[in-house]
Structure 1
Amino acid sequence: MTSAASDDLIIIRGRGRVSALGESLLMAEAAESPFQSRRLGPHTLAVGSLPAAAETALTDLRRNYAPYRQLDRTVLLAVLAARQATAQAGWLPQDSAALGVSIGSSRGATGRLEQFHAGFLADGTVAAAASPLTTLGNVASWVAYDAGTTGGAALSHSSTCSSAFQALGNAVAWLRAGMAGRFLAGGTEAPLTDFTLAQMQALGIYSPFAPADFPCRPGAGKPSTFVLGEGAAMFALEKISRQALAQEQAAHPTAAPVFCLEGVGFGFEAIGSKTGLSADGQHFQMAMRAALRMAGGTIADVDALVLHSPGTPAGDAAERQAIQAVFGHKQPDLVSNKWLLGHTLGASAALSLDFACQLLTTQRWPTAPFATDLAVAPSRPIRRVLVNAAGFGGNAASVLVSVG
């Protein structure tokens, strides 16, 4: 495939993540469910919360850096993932002058916002820090601060559950336009508050299964098995010519794989229900076709597809209908990571892209321990992976990634 835009490539130099699986990559096989229990009034819900080691890393980050003690959990998750990504990329402090930051988050500083509001209801006062610490922009600006950038943009995006890909698409556009030399881009979300959990439960979509029973089950049909999770994934992005990348790989044949963002596509359907979507997932269709068009590719170039698939019967079915409309009888292998992480809202697309990079590296994925339409194992060599994301309001986005 050749890029429709230019001979330049947008590559992922490094990546980082934190989720219900901690800061590790997905396991080869899932013997035990990573989900935990959370009490919500008279109910017990499954949640994809951080395990103990990741929680300790978050606590240390807050304790060891005085300015970070006031920050929302959403921001700290992004900082942890961004540090991993820049370390893997080998970026040095002197590389930060032209570094841009672009981060998606559906809800932003959820925990701090609710804390400040609870204080206001209790005594009628609001701390001076409430406004700056709860704006969406503070997510990207604190990550930029932590990365040491002095001259790049710090951009925050919110388009519900496609937010991370909105952020990624913006970073790609800036890099292609020469408006930045490097970008940190991704998504982050820390929505495991009582109020947010109650909102998800009010929709009637929350999973009835116990945490130990792999309660999030994309592609399994009824009942709805949505489970809320928290996490972040970040990517260190650069622009490089095909020739320069080939020379680099020839000089360092044992270096870590470099992933190419070949296409980014977006779709929108103006439907009356802001929580629903069309039965044939028209926004998914637009996004997938746009990503393929940017990459200059065809449906035959896609070997696996990381689904958005949140475990809701209507949402899962609409995405499958969209895939059928785009791919026909040449469908790629359908895979998901939500059954191991839950739905992390604005971070979900970034964590799915991180999962796609892992598929390209290992050529395998863990098998879901429940009846589903997800592929059990690869049916072909995995050269390119398409990743879908969508959210309330009719937004959808797709990214095509390959190994450079």
Structure 2
Amino acid sequence: MNEEKGIFIEDYSSVSCLGKDKESVYLNWLTDKTGIISKNFPDKTYAVAPLNDEVEKAISAYIDSDKTLKNIDRTAVLAMYAAEKLKASCHTSDKLCINIGSSRGATAVFEKLYRQFIKDKNSLPPYTSPLTTLGNISGFVRKVFDKEAFIFSHSVTCSTAMQSLANGVAWLKSEMADVYIAGASEAPLTPFTLAQMDALKIYSKQLNNPYPCRPLEFLENTMVLGEGAFLFKLTYRKPSEVEGSPVELLSVGYASEEPPNFSGIQDSGTAFKKSMLMAMEKLPKGEKPDAILLHAPGTIKGDRAEMNAIEHIFGNEKPLLIPSKWKTGHLLGASAAISLELAILMLQKVFIPSFPSYLTNDKILSKPIESIMINAAGFGGNAGSVIVRKRR
């Protein structure tokens, strides 16, 4: 039998409000409990989805174990912590590329050093530039893998993780890498970043609601920010060469609004339509994904654009539609990454995640889910879609 090569997600690791290991994350998705809490910041209380106490304790211990980590931004620390769990699966002979993106980058350190800049009358420590550049995330992750690697970082707003996956497909198929570590890290729970979202009039005011972030409700804007880091080991191999139960990254679609407006969102969801249709080109003719993990940030305009695009493509034959930010908040550049983690778990564990009580899942499935589409979109008018499926 002549086997065609495919892009496989052979392993992954993460840290978020859902946990720091695969089993904890899986068990969390079986409940309708949200990871969003109310937290006090200077001058204001916000709904946010931070790491839980157990995970935060593990991160603190990790920082304490290496004094060089104390000045590093949280985005890099979270990515490094996730990398520690993934490095054993990468061999010294692998030609390695590491691409960890972020929408906001080292914003906590930047904010801290800028306050110092104002206070000390233009004086800054020498490490300011190295620790606030976007490239520091992948650089510190390479330190964890302790081997030669081509490293780069990028930001495509909320489609950042999607772009990392697209980069991985290109690099692996061009044989520029044997193993590609794709991913994203986001730590935006800072006063300045939260104030930016608040200024856009899209942040949730539902502090006393059991679900402060309420995608697909369409009553008011209820976006909430979360944090986390996610790394995926990608390879390009024949199915018989891959061990275990890997998930195949079948296709990547991408698009942009023309011309992009302030938010990059149009009610028609033009970019979503283009990216979804492009991703579906790799499916057998007449086939559609069994489920879609929605971007659905809990904003009226964003949710409506995506649903309009889905209605245009699928009509009355929609796949199972799954919102997730009611549980995790919006992780900005890492939003597609946490959705990909859920998709992998759904395919490997064969389950459907719980829905919040204000939404009902009335879709009756005639067979187990075998393929899942993931959507993401961001400021600037960019959108991306990927389809993953069980190995065939």
TM band (smaller chain)? over 0.9
- 1:30 is displaced (CA, Å) by 2.4
Provide the residue aligned with 2:337 in structure 1.
Answer: 350
Q: What is the identity, as a one-letter code, of the residue corresponding to 1:20?
A: C
* Helix, strand or coil at the partner of 1:300: coil
1:65-89 deviations in Å (ceiling 9; x for gaps): 23222210001111122233344xx
The 2-side partners of 1:386 and 1:135 are apart by 32
- 1:28 is displaced (CA, Å) by 4.6
The 1-side partners of 2:239 and 2:29 are apart by 32
Provide the residue aligned with 2:226 in structure 1.
Answer: 229
Number of equivalences: 385
TM-score normalised per structure 2? 0.93
Provide the residue aligned with 2:371 in structure 1.
Answer: 384
TM-score normalised per structure 1? 0.90
Gaps of 5+ in 1: 249-254
* Helix, strand or coil at the partner of 2:70: helix
- 1:35 to 1:349, Cα distance in 2 relative to 1, 3 A: same
The 2-side partners of 1:244 and 1:32 are apart by 39
The 2-side partners of 1:374 and 1:204 are apart by 29
The 1-side partners of 2:209 and 2:79 are apart by 27
1:158-216 deviations in Å (ceiling 9; x for gaps): 00000011111101110111001101111110000001011111111111222661211
Residue of structure 2 aligned with 1:132, choices 127, 130, 133: 130
Residue of structure 2 aligned with 1:198, choices 195, 199, 209: 195
2:276 aligned with 1:318, yes or no? no
- 1:232 is displaced (CA, Å) by 1.4
- 1:375 to 1:212, Cα distance in 2 relative to 1, 3 A: same
The 2-side partners of 1:99 and 1:200 are apart by 36
* Helix, strand or coil at the partner of 2:165: helix
The 1-side partners of 2:362 and 2:130 are apart by 45
The 1-side partners of 2:326 and 2:51 are apart by 15
Gaps of 5+ in 2: none
- Partners of 2:260 and 2:381 within 8 A in 1: no
- Partners of 1:292 and 1:299 within 8 A in 2: no
Residue of structure 2 aligned with 1:171, choices 168, 171, 182: 168
What is the root-mean-square deviation in Å for CA atoms of aligned residues?
2.0
* Helix, strand or coil at the partner of 2:51: coil
- 1:365 to 1:242, Cα distance in 2 relative to 1, 3 A: closer
Provide the residue aligned with 2:81 in structure 1.
Answer: 80
Provide the residue aligned with 1:120 in structure 2.
Answer: 117
- Partners of 1:307 and 1:388 within 8 A in 2: yes
* Helix, strand or coil at the partner of 1:106: coil
1:47-69 deviations in Å (ceiling 9; x for gaps): 00011111112112211123222
* Helix, strand or coil at the partner of 1:319: helix
The 2-side partners of 1:343 and 1:379 are apart by 31
2:246 aligned with 1:258, yes or no? yes
- Partners of 1:17 and 1:234 within 8 A in 2: yes
Provide the residue aligned with 1:91 in structure 2.
Answer: 90
* Helix, strand or coil at the partner of 2:166: helix
The 2-side partners of 1:339 and 1:211 are apart by 14
